[in-house]
């Protein structure tokens, strides 16, 4: 049994490892995590598990399953409550910190009491910070050390050390104020929660891709039973049933046409703007839109066998195949955590056996704990989210929406960019590009096309700027063209085949040249004489050519992957200077083509806009969705381009490089502090006040460095 469950607090690759490692220990269940969409895909024995049991297991390891919108809101509310509580409890501790650091400010006497600070810090650490303990436990259990382990070690060390100082101070009747680090515990948890909250909100700006795909399917079908039409739930339709689909209705399921002729809009699946003509014997795709006449359809696929279901499953599976980007902070934590722990233990042992000289163990315990306190990951936790926050803000002003931090860490490695054709490299809708013959007679074609809802008709009427004439006896010749009487003249607008069928001579027009350019041609005949030929095409976006040229200049190989026919695809690729082109590719095959390019050793970005692009967007190392495209494409991508300018692809890459450098600089600041302070703490020379100042300074430098990103200037400008 396969089941997908949404989980509210999945934030990174370490979460994925923790969940997958836990379920690996259980029998008859396998879990795979989709980090970007916060989902876990389970394959399990339905006799042993159900949705509720799987949810219970997720809760055991500190993750919160979402089964409905109400639980989604509860999870979001819980995050906000934790953040607010962390701020409320940390604020008074921060107030005392300024006095510890030597600032001459008034602080209530009771707040300086160690036991009061202990009481304030306890709910921050064990209630607000409970998620970090759950996650750290399972990271340790699965041998996947991440930021959560570092947070737990740092906050707990500061907490324990401060408790020891408080008790020792009282027991010895000291007069000096003890050096307490309770505020460090609160600040670390608060800062990490702020970072997580920001990233979660960014991801929530897009809806769930798979849910959006599922919602595209029809909910009911009109089934022909015993000569009567009966509306039934889509789940009740069986293979072989006969469906009746009226004009302007969605085709419920895959099948073939038994009776009727109509145009069917398959753009949502194929990405192509031209409606397909369907007649008896033709196959038809479920969830496409019947636009003209009633069709009788025999069902050939139901449930998981339909094309839409295959796309949904492909999106899920490609997300699992796609390597999960491990955060820089988590990579560092895997090395940093054991190193710090080892240094702390060695410090303790060195003081016990070499320095202590008969004094109490507290003397040895203090520098060991100090090492852990100084290593608190406050600056480390801020390093990534602050830079990404500033970078995302700059990007948003340019019309670029990043959906997570992973993109920043891989964009500098992109060596190939694959583009969808329709709606991505081209405008996505047909336009009249040429009139060959008598241009004055365009009024007859435009007047007739005014009565049609075909995209070609709109292209012709949009190009005509004059007054429309009255039309009578209008008739659609399905799959061929249209005809009618305009200004008392018999007018026919249609394909070369229709002209040939009617016996009209088109030899005066060179249609072959235009067809070889990937254009669609139509003829207009008035009273039996062909007066002109119309060439219609889906034009290139103005920025497409310069973007391809810039990519090649940078050594990045451009590809085109399209479902369109060979002739059109090759012509467009040649016009743009794209040497690698795949044509007549089905939606699920697009992901396979991306995998082929990846297998050749390239880091691949894919740029698309249609539902048929969703698997490829998910499979690519980085997915760019053009904002004018479908919601599904946007949902499955890593980056959304909110304007039609393809130059945003270059700008997104450039900004990501600047942001990544900024993140590395943040880590340099964070570690400079640790490299200097840890040895001083280990040999007992560190003044705790200086440690606090150093920690604060390190965090301030991280924030200031992140803000320096605002000085970034885009060098690339699209040539149109």
Q: Are residues 418 and 440 in the same domain?
A: no
- Model confidence pLDDT, tens digit, residues 419-470: 998 888 888 788 898 899 988 899 999 999 888 877 788 889 988 888 889 9
Instruction: Determine the structural domain holding residue 651 and report its residue range.
Output: 399-427+541-657
HSE-CB at 239 with a 13 A cutoff on CA atoms is 7
304 has a pLDDT exceeding 50: yes
Joined together, the tokens standing for residue 557 give: 């190989």
Joined together, the tokens standing for residue 202 give: 């960014």
467 labelled catalytic: no
Q: Are residues 403 and 489 in the same domain?
A: no
Q: Are residues 508 and 653 in the same domain?
A: no
Do residues 193 and 128 make contact, with C-beta atoms less than 8 angstroms apart? yes
pLDDT attached to residue 45:
85
The residue that leads in pLDDT, 472 or 9, is 472
Is 125 within a domain? no
- DSSP string over 42-110: EEE-TTT--HHHHHHHHHHTT--EE-SHHHHHHHHHHHHHHHHHHHHHHHHHHHHHHHHTT------GG
Is 195 within a domain? no
Which of residues 21, 43, 58 is at a domain's end? 58
Q: Are residues 438 and 529 in the same domain?
A: yes
- Rounded CA-CA distance 207/445 in Å is 43
pLDDT attached to residue 322:
46
704: three-class secondary structure by DSSP: helix
Mean pLDDT of all residues in 68-95: 82
355: three-class secondary structure by DSSP: helix
Task: Specify the CATH number for the domain of residue 439.
Answer: 3.40.1110.10
Q: Are residues 547 and 423 in the same domain?
A: yes
pTM above 0.85, yes or no: no
Joined together, the tokens standing for residue 481 give: 């063209």
Is 421 within a domain? yes
Mean pLDDT of all residues in 73-85: 83
Look at the chain and report how many structural domains it folds into. Answer: 4
Of 125, 236, 230, 247, whose CA–CA distance to 185 is shortest?
125
Residue 299 has phi, psi (to 5 degrees) of -75, 130
Interior angle at CA 170, CA 166 and CA 175, nearest 5: 100
Share of the chain above pLDDT 90, in %: 15
Q: Are residues 530 and 403 in the same domain?
A: no
Which of residues 269, 300, 331 is at a domain's end? 300
273 has a pLDDT exceeding 70: no
Q: Are residues 557 and 639 in the same domain?
A: yes
Mean pLDDT of all residues in 652-681: 82
- Rounded CA-CA distance 342/334 in Å is 13
β strands within 495-546, DSSP E: 520-526, 529-537
Is 526 within a domain? yes
Q: Which of 79, 82, 148, 420 is catalytic?
A: 420
pLDDT attached to residue 213:
54
Is 501 within a domain? yes
Task: Specify the CATH number for the domain of residue 290.
Answer: 2.70.150.10
Q: Are residues 497 and 456 in the same domain?
A: yes
Task: Specify the CATH number for the domain of residue 617.
Answer: 3.40.50.1000
Q: Are residues 557 and 571 in the same domain?
A: yes
- Rounded CA-CA distance 151/200 in Å is 19
């Amino acid at each position: 049994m396969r089941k997908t469950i949404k989980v509210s607090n999945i934030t990174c690759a370490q979460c994925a490892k923790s969940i997958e490692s836990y379920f690996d220990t259980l029998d008859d269940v396998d879990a795979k995590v989709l980090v970007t969409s916060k989902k876990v895909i389970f394959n399990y024995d339905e006799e042993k598990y159900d949705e509720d049991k799987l949810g219970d297991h997720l809760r055991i390891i500190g993750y919160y399953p979402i089964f409905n919108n109400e639980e989604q809101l509860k999870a979001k509310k819980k995050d906000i409550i934790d953040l607010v509580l962390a701020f409320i409890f940390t604020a008074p501790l921060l107030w005392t910190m300024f006095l510890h650091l030597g600032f001459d400010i008034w602080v209530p006497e009771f707040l300086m009491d160690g036991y009061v600070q202990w009481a304030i810090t306890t709910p921050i650490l064990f209630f607000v910070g409970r998620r970090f303990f759950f996650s750290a436990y399972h990271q340790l259990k699965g041998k996947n050390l991440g930021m959560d382990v570092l947070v737990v070690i740092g906050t707990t060390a500061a907490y324990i050390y401060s408790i020891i100082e408080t008790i020792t101070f009282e027991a010895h009747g000291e007069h000096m104020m003890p050096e307490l680090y309770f505020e460090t515990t609160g600040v670390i948890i608060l800062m990490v929660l702020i970072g997580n909250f920001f990233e979660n909100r960014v991801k929530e700006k897009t809806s769930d891709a798979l849910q959006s795909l599922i919602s595209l399917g029809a909910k009911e079908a009109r089934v022909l039973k015993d000569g009567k039409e009966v509306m039934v739930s889509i789940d009740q339709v069986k293979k072989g049933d006969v469906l009746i689909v009226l004009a302007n209705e969605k085709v419920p399921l895959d099948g073939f046409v038994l009776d009727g002729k109509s145009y069917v809009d398959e753009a949502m699946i194929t990405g192509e703007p031209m409606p397909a003509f369907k007649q008896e014997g033709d196959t038809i795709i479920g969830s496409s839109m019947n636009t003209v006449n009633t069709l009788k359809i025999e069902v050939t696929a139901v449930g998981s066998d339909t094309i839409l279901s295959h796309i949904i499953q492909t999106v899920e599976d490609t997300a699992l195949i796609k390597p999960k980007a491990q955060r820089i902070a988590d990579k560092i934590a895997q090395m940093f955590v054991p190193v710090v722990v080892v240094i702390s233990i060695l410090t303790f042992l060195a003081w016990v056996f070499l320095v202590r000289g008969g004094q109490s163990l507290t003397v040895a315990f203090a520098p060991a704990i100090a090492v852990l306190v100084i290593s608190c990951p406050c600056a480390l936790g801020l390093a990534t989210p602050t830079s990404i926050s500033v970078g995302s803000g700059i990007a948003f002003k340019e019309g670029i929406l990043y959906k997570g931090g992973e993109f920043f860490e891989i964009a500098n490695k992109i060596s190939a960019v694959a583009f969808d054709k329709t709606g991505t490299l081209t405008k996505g809708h047909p336009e009249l590009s040429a009139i060959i013959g008598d241009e004055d007679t365009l009024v007859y074609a435009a007047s007739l096309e005014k009565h049609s809802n075909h995209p070609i008709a709109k292209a012709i009427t949009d190009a005509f700027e004059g007054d429309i004439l009255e039309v009578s006896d209008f008739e659609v010749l399905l799959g061929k063209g249209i005809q009618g009487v305009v200004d008392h003249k018999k007018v026919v607008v249609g394909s070369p085949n229709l002209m040939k069928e009617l016996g009209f001579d088109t030899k005066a027009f060179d249609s072959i040249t235009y067809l070889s350019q990937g254009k669609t041609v139509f003829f207009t005949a008035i009273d039996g004489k062909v007066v002109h030929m119309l060439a219609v095409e889906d034009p290139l976006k103005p920025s497409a050519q310069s973007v391809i040229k810039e990519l090649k200049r940078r050594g990045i190989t451009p590809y085109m992957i399209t479902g369109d026919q060979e002739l059109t695809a090759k012509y467009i690729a040649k016009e743009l200077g794209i040497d690698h082109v795949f044509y007549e590719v089905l939606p699920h095959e697009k992901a396979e083509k991306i995998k082929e390019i990846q297998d050749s050793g390239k880091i691949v970005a894919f740029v698309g806009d249609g539902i048929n692009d969703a698997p490829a967007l998910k499979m690519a190392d980085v997915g760019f969705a053009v904002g004018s495209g479908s919601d599904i494409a946007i949902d499955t991508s890593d980056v959304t381009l909110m304007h039609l300018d393809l130059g945003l692809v270059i700008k997104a890459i450039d900004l990501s490089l600047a942001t990544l450098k900024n993140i590395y600089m943040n880590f340099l600041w964070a570690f400079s502090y640790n490299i200097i302070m840890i040895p001083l703490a280990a040999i007992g020379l560190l003044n705790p006040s200086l440690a606090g100042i150093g920690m604060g300074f390190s965090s301030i430098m991280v924030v200031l460095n992140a803000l320096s990103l605002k000085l970034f200037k885009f060098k690339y400008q699209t040539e149109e």
